């Protein structure tokens, strides 16, 4: 069985990575593998699966930018069906890529995942109806410090592909803190 391809998106030691997953398909359908611990470790991603969940989104939904202040999780995000523009933002104050964001399209045809290290915020824009996202997380979920920064914070300047007059947001996401508020008590993440 063939392996994966890894494309790192930022400089530094622990950084986001787009992973092209193993995929094999024929007239019957397809098979895709989106995680194998030994291969990931050989490529510098030390990931220990703690929880798995999925979400569905309608077209024009923008979610995020989410993270945990205490014990942040690392995430491996895949889109088995549908299409998103996935966004990650470096929130580690001591990082040379602090406040920088990257985006990547994940969809059911490109067989890509994105690895999001601890210390990054995550958000996405759903570009199709019934988009299915699979989340695999390293680290325990901490409901008490699950929070985020508003998707449209001007200090981050993220370029979303959906016009605001058609975007769909949750009440929770519209009430998330600003980047300036985050800087008053940023998450505690060691830079490796």
DSSP output for 41-70: HHTT------EEEEEEE-TTBEEEEEEESS
Provide the pLDDT for residue 190.
59
| Residue 35: active-site member | no
As a whole number, the mean pLDDT across the chain is: 93
Give the integer Cα–Cα distance in Å for 76 and 155.
26
Given a contact cutoff of 8 angstroms between Cβ atoms, the answer to whether 65 and 89 are in contact is yes
Assess contact for 160 and 125: CB atoms under 8 A. yes
Q: What does the buried/exposed string (b/e) look like for 104-140 if buried means 16 or more CB atoms within 10 Å of the residue's CB?
A: bbbbbeebbbbbbbbbbbbbbbbbbeebebbbbbbbe
Side-chain-side CA neighbours of residue 129 (13 Å)? 0
User: In the chain, what are the domain boundaries?
Assistant: 5-184
Does the annotation count 23 as an active-site position? Answer: no
For strand 5-8 and strand 131-138, is the pairing parallel, antiparallel, or unpaired? unpaired
* CATH architecture entry for 5-184: Sandwich (2.60)
Exactly one of 8, 35, 135, 141 is catalytic; name it: 135
Q: pLDDT at position 1, please?
A: 45
pLDDT at 191 over 50: no
Annotated catalytic residue within 35, 66, 111, 122: 66
Q: Which residue has the higher pLDDT, 24 or 135?
A: 135
Average pLDDT over every residue of 48-64: 96
Mean pLDDT of 28-52: 91
Q: Which residue has the higher pLDDT, 5 or 190?
A: 5
CA 86 – CA 62 distance, rounded (Å): 10
- 60 contacts 164 by C-beta, under 8 angstroms: no
Q: Is the pLDDT of residue 104 over 80?
A: yes
Strand-by-strand arrangement of the 120-126 sheet: 101-107, 83-90, 120-126, 62-68, 146-148
- Asked if 90 and 98 touch (Cβ cutoff 8 Å), the reply is yes
- pLDDT score, position 47: 93
pLDDT at 97 over 80: yes
- Mean pLDDT, residues 15-36: 90
89-95 average pLDDT score: 93
């Amino acid at each position: 069985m063939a392996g994966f391809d890894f494309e790192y998106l930022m400089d530094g030691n622990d950084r986001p990575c787009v992973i092209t997953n193993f995929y094999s398909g024929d007239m019957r359908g397809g098979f895709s593998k989106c995680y194998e611990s030994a291969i990931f470790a050989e490529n510098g991603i030390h990931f220990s699966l703690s929880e798995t969940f999925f979400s569905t989104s309608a077209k024009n939904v923008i979610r995020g930018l989410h993270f945990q202040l205490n014990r942040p999780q690392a995430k491996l995000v895949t889109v088995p069906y549908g299409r998103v523009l996935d966004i990650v933002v470096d929130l580690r104050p001591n990082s040379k890529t602090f406040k920088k964001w990257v985006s990547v399209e994940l969809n059911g045809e490109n067989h890509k995942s994105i690895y999001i290290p601890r210390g990054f915020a995550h958000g996405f824009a759903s570009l199709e109806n019934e988009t299915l996202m699979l989340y695999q997380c390293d680290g325990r979920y901490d409901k008490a410090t699950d929070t985020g920064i508003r998707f449209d914070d001007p200090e981050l300047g993220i370029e979303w592909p959906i016009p605001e007059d058609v975007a769909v947001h949750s009440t929770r996401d519209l009430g998330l803190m600003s980047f300036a508020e985050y800087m008053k008590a940023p998450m505690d993440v060691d830079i490796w």
